[in-house]
Amino acid sequence: MMNILLSTLEQQSLIKASFETLELLLWSALISIPLGTLLGYIFALYGKDKIYQNKWIAYTLSMIVSIIRSIPFVLFMVIIIPISFNLFKTSYGFIPSIISLTLIGIATTARLVEQAIVDLNPNIYRLAKSLGANKYQLFRHFIFIEARSSLILAYTSSLISLLAYSSVLYIIGGGGLGYTAIQIGYYSPVGHELMYVSTIIMVIIVQLIQILGNILANYLNKKKRG
């Protein structure tokens, strides 16, 4: 099918772009999921009227996350360029792409994790306290256990958002399927097939992430009857 639609050169650039997208997704997720989880935990437990209420920490971090989320991503990654240049002496390509994708990933994951934790029965904190759990144990043995299927769905949504954001990273040299779809697909008079095939591959990746996320979340959820 691909042989009929695309030339060998286009097929090669599509395979390369797919790997680039997966690489961007993998590295940004590896950093943003743990950090986003930590931030979400802080928002859910240190906010106003929460068990460890500490307005200064929660408000400051919450404001930073809200600002990151409010800037359109195309502008955000351009704003990141000088930071990337100062830190890594590069303003184009993989590094500035990873920085911007990771930062937006942390902000997105933090809000989704916060929601998953806030949705838990608040009596879980009383139970943990009565069993003598410390802060780490509260997260590891209570919150993580009870919210694990919601957390998996939150991570699934984060990954899908990262994939969507990654499609514009070609502007700062990040490559990926966004590059093949727009730059060498849409803008070329003979490249529309490449644009459609790139889009189909992205749809397939999203479907795979969602299906796997749903299966894992469902397996880990023991709260359902039957």
At its nearest, how many Å lie between other proteins and the CB of residue 130?
A: 4
Q: How far is the CB of 150 from other proteins (least distance, A)?
A: 11
Closest distance to other proteins from the beta carbon of 212 (Å): 19
What residues line the site for other proteins (CB under 8 A)?
A: 121, 123-124, 126-127, 129-133, 137, 141-142, 145-146, 148-149, 220-225
Rounded Cα distance, 166 and 69, in Å = 15
Report the distance separating Cα 29 and Cα 17, nearest Å. Answer: 18
Q: How far is the CB of 153 from other proteins (least distance, A)?
A: 14
Is the Cβ of residue 103 or residue 154 nearer to other proteins in the bound state?
154
- By beta-carbon proximity to other proteins, the closer residue of 72 and 226 is 226
Q: For other proteins, give the closer residue by CB, 31 or 220.
A: 220
Q: Which is nearer to other proteins, 89 or 222 (CB)?
A: 222
Min dist CB 215 to other proteins, Å, is 16
**Whose Cβ is closer to other proteins: residue 6's or residue 133's?**
133
